[in-house]
């Protein structure tokens, strides 16, 4: 009798204990699978006396759901046990002493450059880039410094290939590259911070590699007073509102007139101290009105366009601002020195 088989299976279920994955899967196959006991019983449905078919069906359904429940609850229990085990294994002992995480700090030179970038961007300047391996043409010739000109001697240049390829000795070639891109058609406002190279012996104030921040503005009716106003804004933002600027006549081949930019000593306020070498003033940049030859060579008609340019020495500015005596600290990785800058900054912000 098939009904008796149902009872027998029910008894079996009562006695079944499922623990391992294998047991559970074997159970599924044995009772619930296509060839499982319950499925086989279902296939006898048609042979059952029609009067008993309904109750047989009900009992069979009851049996199936009990088997399914047994299977499901065993599976759930197993998963719970696994999760519990995993949690136990991965638990973190919060009473253990923590590893100290060292805090990084921005490189002071980068930070200074970013400050200059920010002020300039607020005045509508774009920050541009140029190659460090440069052509003589851009580094000198198109800046109005022809071959053999004595002005070249001041920049003891690293030549890479013959007389044409060099490591740029200044960021000024970016002026030329920017103007060439502008094709003599659009006004220009760019700054270019970047590495420059000269054949200097390294010491506290010299480095064969250093950073300049070049600026160029080309538009109509630009004069020296525009340059002065611009430099004034940058300087005040970097060194303080009470710092003044002064221009001294100077000479650069690519600007006419050329100036040397001094700022009043932010340290002694002009009284004279070691930073300003008792003069009350500190030189921080070279600048001037772009030479008509330079405009012309780069495709800007000097009858229409005029402009100014400036070049800051980034290390010098950072040394002044953060009272650093030796330029080499920018290029080594002595953490004690870097920490010192941190402190200095904190004092400043307090």
Q: Can you give the binding site for ligand DAH, defined by CB under 6 A?
A: 170, 172, 214, 252, 255, 286-288, 309-311
What minimum distance in Å lies between the beta carbon of 247 and ligand DAH? 12
Distance CA 246, CA 274 (A): 19
Q: At 119, list the tokens.
A: 């002020």
Distance CA 18, CA 21 (A): 8
Distance CA 50, CA 71 (A): 31
Name the residue nearer to ligand DAH (CB basis): 214 or 315.
214
Distance CA 2, CA 181 (A): 94
| CA dist list (Å): 59 to 34, 54, 72, 333 | 19, 9, 20, 82
Beta-carbon contacts of 333 under 8 Å, excluding residues fewer than 6 positions away, are: none
Sheet holding 188-197, edge to edge: 126-127, 188-197, 209-219, 306-313, 281-290, 255-264, 245-252
Name the residue nearer to ligand DAH (CB basis): 67 or 192.
192
Number of continuous H segments (helices) and E segments (strands) in the chain: 11, 10
Name the residue nearer to ligand DAH (CB basis): 214 or 262.
214
Name the residue nearer to ligand DAH (CB basis): 130 or 288.
288
What minimum distance in Å lies between the beta carbon of 169 and ligand DAH? 7
Name the residue nearer to ligand DAH (CB basis): 211 or 309.
309
Name the residue nearer to ligand DAH (CB basis): 9 or 192.
192
Helices 2-15 and 50-90 cross at an angle (nearest 10°) of 20
| CA dist list (Å): 221 to 121, 225, 263 | 21, 11, 26
Distance CA 277, CA 49 (A): 118
What minimum distance in Å lies between the beta carbon of 99 and ligand DAH? 47
- Residue 328: in which H helix or E strand, if any? none
Residue with tokens 């053999």: 148
What minimum distance in Å lies between the beta carbon of 342 and ligand DAH? 30
What minimum distance in Å lies between the beta carbon of 288 and ligand DAH? 5
Name the residue nearer to ligand DAH (CB basis): 239 or 310.
310
| Neighbouring C-beta atoms of residue 139, cutoff 10 Å | 24
What minimum distance in Å lies between the beta carbon of 315 and ligand DAH? 13
Name the residue nearer to ligand DAH (CB basis): 46 or 147.
147
What minimum distance in Å lies between the beta carbon of 286 and ligand DAH? 3
What minimum distance in Å lies between the beta carbon of 309 and ligand DAH? 3
Indicate the residue whose CB is closest to ligand DAH.
311
């Amino acid at each position: 009798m098939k009904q008796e088989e149902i009872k027998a299976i029910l008894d079996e279920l009562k006695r079944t204990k499922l623990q391992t994955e294998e047991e559970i899967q074997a159970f599924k196959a044995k009772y619930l699978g296509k060839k499982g006991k319950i499925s086989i019983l279902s296939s006898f449905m048609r042979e059952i006396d029609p009067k008993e078919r309904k109750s047989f069906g009900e009992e069979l359904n009851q049996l199936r759901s009990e088997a399914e429940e047994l299977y499901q609850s065993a599976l759930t229990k197993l998963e719970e046990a696994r999760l519990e085990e995993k949690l136990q294994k991965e638990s973190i002992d919060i009473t253990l002493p923590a590893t100290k995480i060292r805090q990084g700090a921005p490189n002071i030179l980068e930070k200074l450059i970013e400050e200059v970038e920010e002020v300039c961007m607020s005045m509508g300047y774009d920050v541009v880039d140029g190659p460090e391996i440069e052509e003589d043409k851009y580094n000198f010739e198109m800046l109005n410094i022809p071959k053999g000109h004595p002005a070249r001697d001041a920049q003891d240049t690293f030549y890479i290939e013959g007389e044409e390829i060099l490591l740029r000795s200044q960021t000024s070639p970016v002026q030329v590259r920017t103007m060439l891109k502008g094709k003599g058609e659009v006004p220009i406002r760019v700054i270019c911070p970047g590495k420059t190279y000269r054949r200097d012996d390294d010491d506290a104030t010299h480095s064969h590699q250093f950073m300049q921040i070049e600026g160029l503005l080309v538009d109509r009716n630009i004069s020296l007073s525009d340059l002065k106003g611009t430099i004034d804004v940058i300087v005040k933002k970097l060194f303080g509102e009470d710092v003044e600027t002064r221009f001294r006549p100077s000479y650069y081949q690519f600007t006419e007139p050329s100036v040397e930019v001094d700022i009043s000593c932010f340290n002694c306020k002009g009284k004279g101290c070691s930073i300003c070498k008792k003069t009350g003033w500190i030189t921080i940049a070279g600048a001037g009105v772009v030479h008509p030859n330079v405009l012309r060579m780069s495709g800007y008609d000097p009858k229409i366009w005029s402009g100014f340019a400036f070049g800051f020495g980034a290390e010098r500015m950072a040394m002044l601002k953060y009272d650093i005596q030796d330029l080499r600290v920018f290029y080594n990785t002595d953490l004690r020195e870097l920490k010192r800058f941190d402190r200095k900054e904190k004092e400043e912000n307090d």
